[in-house]
Structure 1
């Protein structure tokens, strides 16, 4: 089985490849004639040029999935650059005037090129989004260097491998109708992950906390939102049914939901 490090590297390579194609697509959309002229200098024939352009992804359709997947990877591997990555996409909330230095990819996708505020009718070209996307691509590329750096902390990746193994064991227990044991194992994984998230965010927590304590601390410190809090609350309730309630037996469906929910949590909440 491939390790989480191998999975991250594979996902990164796919995103980098698509990101480069999206950058070409954006250039083609903005500077069509210039772009075609430039690629002709490195292509052997007009047929190659035509095929290259035909194979370019549709930026409007492919950018959002690329952005969402890149966001998850950066959140996990380069969290200190997450804010910058988002900034290049989202329109500033208090922006009063559309300018080249505050133009975003969201503006590009919406085709924003003119100012309407304060009777100002100046225009900003769609090409203003090119540097923003180039910066996003550079942030993603910088993850690659972290894999090669001896300073890269792989603790979380190793821990993720361990959690995946534990959940695989829980699935096997459930398969053999040991629902209570499977739920208990999945609950331990959830508890350890939430505790690690609090540590990573430098949030103090009382000694020997339960899942509910960890969940409350994460919500109080705005690490998770209300839907995520409710989701974890339900997982904790199923875990308690497996570990503490000796009267009611957890159903296989409930334990299956717990295992799937824990798997989702350890991959989306950091």
Structure 2
């Protein structure tokens, strides 16, 4: 099943890909001969089909702009104003120059001329730079987007662990000591596995245990000897709760396990 993170990453990749196609469309519209010559070297006899399949910038840009703007508001809110600035005509603009020509002007097909001979001052090609800047902002969001999703995933993971520990504490109060300890052990094992993943620590075993994760974290100097021994102790308590043939864990043992798991989650990451 595809996770939300993967789906969001896929959507962003598609947005960037479409942006690159729109950029090609602008280049082709403004410099058709040069554009065809450039791509003919790469595509040979397929260049005409490539150009034919380019999106119509005038009709496709607004949708791309809306989707990109919605993304930036969530991921890079501090760049929204910059992104919009490359599209919107400056309100204080007194004359139109290459520097202040915007994508909005491009969509209106605006060309500025001067004098009786109508010498060209600025035209649609000036908007290529503006769109290139917009695309660069969206591309820059990719790293931040992944980072933000990573943070979201951690917050969800933390909330889930807190809920599971609350459930374990409730079971402990009802004297279901073995079940409470088993849940706490699962939370500890999952957390240590997550720490190894985040720190790119490889685990050779297919189904690693708390002890395996603990050894790997000690080898990578993520935990010191005291922490390693403490996690070992918690692993022993977890084993008492998990194995039916052992005597039932005592209330004190389960309390120690629950408190220890909470401590490790907050100190080993």
- Corresponding residue number in structure 1 for 2:48: 50
- Corresponding residue number in structure 2 for 1:245: none
Q: Is the 8 A contact 1:21 1:56 kept in 2?
A: yes
| 2:78 counterpart SS class | helix
Q: Is the 8 A contact 2:9 2:146 kept in 1?
A: no
Q: Is the 8 A contact 1:3 1:161 kept in 2?
A: no
Q: What is the 5 A alignment of 1:178-193?
A: none
Given the superposition, is the C-alpha separation of residues 121 and 54 from structure 1 closer, same or farther in structure 2, using an over 3 Å criterion? closer
Moved beyond 3 Å, runs of 4+: 1-4, 152-162
CA distance in 1, matches of 2:82, 2:153: 23
CA distance in 1, matches of 2:144, 2:126: 29
| 2:44 counterpart SS class | coil
Match of 2:77 among 55, 60, 79: 79
Q: CA deviation at 1:103?
A: 0.8
- Corresponding residue number in structure 2 for 1:16: 16
Residue by residue, what CA displacement relative to the aligned partner does 1:161-216 show, whole Å, maximum 9, x if unpaired?
99xxxxxxxxxxxxxxxxxxxxxxxxxxxxxxxxxxxxxxxxxxxxxxxxxxxxxx
- Corresponding residue number in structure 2 for 1:126: 124
**TM-score normalized with structure 1 length:** 0.52
- Corresponding residue number in structure 2 for 1:189: none
Q: CA deviation at 1:50?
A: 0.9
What is the aligned residue count? 155
Q: Is the 8 A contact 1:8 1:73 kept in 2?
A: no
Q: Is the 8 A contact 2:5 2:149 kept in 1?
A: no
CA distance in 1, matches of 2:75, 2:153: 9
Q: CA deviation at 1:44?
A: 2.7
Given the superposition, is the C-alpha separation of residues 5 and 158 from structure 1 closer, same or farther in structure 2, using an over 3 Å criterion? farther
Stretches of structure 2 lacking an aligned partner (at least 5 in a row)? 159-269
- Corresponding residue number in structure 2 for 1:61: 59
Structure of larger gyration radius: 2
- Corresponding residue number in structure 1 for 2:28: 28
Q: CA deviation at 1:155?
A: 4.3
**TM-score normalized with structure 2 length:** 0.52
Stretches of structure 1 lacking an aligned partner (at least 5 in a row)? 163-270
